[in-house]
């Protein structure tokens, strides 16, 4: 199932959601420009769990900056476009709730939490872990907490038949999370001591779990209801009072 849009209008302009999409696009096009130099670049610059587990996070040449860089790198067109679609559909409502600057802190915090979860599940991996999906998973977890009843217009493939359906976030997002969890457990069971490339399932899991916690830490559970900044609510009340005053 592919989300197309949510029926949940935001009340702030999503400046930083758009800025994050633009930054990811610039980084991806830079990757494309590298050609045959891309693989060595990723191995050196991107987040590698084994280096972090060996103590790289605390050293001058450690993985802290590599995690940040890896949030903006992608492994191909489908990886990039899929992540940006999810960010576009769900990111504006979290930015709406937190405000612009706290949203950036939230996004980066979820990305780091996802990287740590991936390293914990794959401590010996020497494969670069790239993509915005860990940070975006944090957005999904926060969205589920704030807007469980929001309808998600979803593209569904049934064999050769393609249609769109309205799926509540309370159904769509838990199903998405269960798929990540099941896939991660299957990957571990089939690993047999070898390294497994592909999807970083536990980064998705870690980001999703971190999302609600970060939302709480940043004050996103306080204020005037889902998607309505407190100041906006006060303005609405003043407008309503003026409209109906006799």
pLDDT in tens, the chain (246 residues): 899 999 999 998 999 999 999 999 999 999 999 999 999 999 999 999 988 877 655 554 467 899 999 999 999 999 999 999 999 999 999 999 999 999 999 999 999 999 999 999 888 888 999 999 999 999 999 999 999 999 999 999 887 888 999 999 999 999 999 999 998 888 877 765 555 567 889 999 999 999 999 999 999 987 544 444 444 444 444 443 443 333
pLDDT computed for residue 188 by the predictor: 77
CA distances from 209 to 21, 125, 135, 143, 204 (A): 23, 22, 11, 12, 9
pLDDT computed for residue 2 by the predictor: 92
Tokens of 87: 């960010």
Q: How many domains does the chain have?
A: 1
CA distances from 181 to 31, 90, 152, 205 (A): 30, 20, 22, 7
User: How many Cβ atoms sit within 10 Å of the Cβ of residue 13?
Assistant: 12
Domain at 28, CATH number: 1.20.1540.10
Q: What is the DSSP letter of 199?
A: -
pLDDT computed for residue 196 by the predictor: 55
pLDDT computed for residue 53 by the predictor: 79
pLDDT computed for residue 62 by the predictor: 63
Sign of CA dihedral 31, 33, 39, 43: negative
CA distances from 162 to 1, 18, 33, 156, 158 (A): 10, 29, 35, 6, 6
Q: Range of 68's domain?
A: 2-244
pTM: 0.86
Tokens of 104: 């950036």
């Amino acid at each position: 199932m592919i989300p197309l849009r949510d029926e949940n209008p935001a009340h702030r302009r999503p400046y930083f959601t758009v800025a994050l999409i633009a930054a990811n696009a610039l980084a991806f096009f830079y990757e494309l420009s590298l050609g045959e130099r891309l693989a060595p670049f990723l191995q050196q610059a991107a987040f590698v769990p084994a280096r972090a587990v060996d103590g790289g996070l605390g050293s001058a040449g450690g993985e802290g900056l590599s995690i940040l860089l890896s949030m903006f790198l992608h492994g191909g067109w489908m990886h990039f476009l899929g992540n940006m679609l999810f960010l576009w559909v769900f990111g504006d409502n979290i930015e709406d709730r937190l405000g612009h600057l706290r949203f950036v802190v939230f996004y980066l915090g979820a990305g780091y939490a996802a990287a740590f979860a991936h390293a914990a599940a794959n401590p010996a991996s020497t494969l670069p872990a790239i993509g915005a999906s860990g940070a975006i998973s944090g957005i999904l977890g926060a969205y589920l907490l704030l807007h469980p009843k929001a309808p998600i217009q979803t593209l569904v493939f049934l064999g050769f038949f393609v249609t769109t359906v309205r799926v509540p976030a309370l159904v769509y997002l838990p199903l998405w999370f269960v798929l990540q969890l099941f896939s991660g457990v299957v990957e571990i069971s089939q690993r047999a001591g070898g390294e497994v490339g592909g999807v970083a399932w536990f980064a998705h899991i870690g980001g999703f779990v971190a999302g609600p916690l970060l939302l709480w830490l940043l004050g996103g559970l306080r204020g005037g209801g889902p998607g309505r900044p407190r100041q906006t609510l006060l303005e609405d009340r003043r407008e309503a009072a003026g409209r109906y005053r006799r």
